[in-house]
Amino acid sequence: EALFGARAPVPVGAPPPAPRGEAFLPELGSAWPPGAVVPPTGSARRHACTLLRSRSSRAAMGGAAPAPPAVTLEEMKAARVPIEERDQCAGLLIPLNECRYKTGFLTWKCENERLEYEYCLYRDYLRRVEKCDAVRAAGGSCTAPAYRRDATD
C-alpha cells in the first residue's frame, strides 16, 4: 500500500534516484541524461523570463535602459490616457492599460508591463532630482521633486 508520492524501492546496486523537483518520476527515472544542463524551474525560471522581457540585455547588464517608445498626442487621445499621465512614459502606459482591459484587470497577468511602466516613472523621478541638484549647485533654488504623481512638485 504505497501512499501518493511515495518512492519506489531502489534495487540493490542501482544508482540513487534523482531528488524530487528535478523532473523525477519513480517509475521512469530521471528525465534528464547524466551531465545535462537542467533548465531553471520555479522562481529562478520566472526571474530569468521577467528579466529578458522587461529590459534589453544592455540594460540588464548595467547599461542605460532603452528610451520608452515615443507616442504622439493623437495616439494618447485615442488610447484615452489621462492628461496628467501624458509624459514620456505614456508609451508604456498604453500597452499596460490594453493588457489590463484584455485580462479583466487581473493584476498578475500584466506584471511585466506594470514593472516597466513603474521603472520608467522612477527614472523620470531620478532625472528631475538630477535637474534640481544641478540648479542648487548653480546657486539657484529648487523644491524637492515629488516621487508620486499625486504629490505636488
Answer whether residue 134 is part of any domain: yes
State the total domains in the chain.
1
* Matching residue, cell 514593472: 115
* Matching residue, cell 528610451: 67
Answer whether residue 28 is part of any domain: no
* Full residue range of the structural domain in which residue 111 is found: 68-153
**DSSP type of residue 8:** P
- Give one word for 127, left, alpha or beta, with left for phi > 0 and alpha for psi -120 to 50: alpha
Query: Do the beta carbons of residue 90 and residue 71 sit within 8 Å?
Result: yes
Q: What share of the chain is helix, strand, coil (3-state, %, to 5)?
A: 45, 5, 50
Answer whether residue 105 is part of any domain: yes
HEC string of 44-67 equals HHHHHHHHHHHCCHHHHCCCCCCC
Answer whether residue 117 is part of any domain: yes
Answer whether residue 115 is part of any domain: yes
Answer whether residue 24 is part of any domain: no
pLDDT in tens, 95-119: 999 999 999 999 899 999 999 999 9
Answer whether residue 41 is part of any domain: no
pLDDT > 90 fraction of the chain, expressed in percent and rounded: 37
pLDDT in tens, 18-67: 555 545 445 555 566 666 666 666 555 555 555 444 444 445 555 566 67
Q: Is 117 exposed, middle or buried (0-12, 13-18, 19+ CB in 10 A)?
A: buried
In the structure grid, which three cell numbers stand for residue 103, read together?
485580462
Answer whether residue 129 is part of any domain: yes
- The residue type of 11 is P
Cβ atoms within 10 Å, residue 146: 12
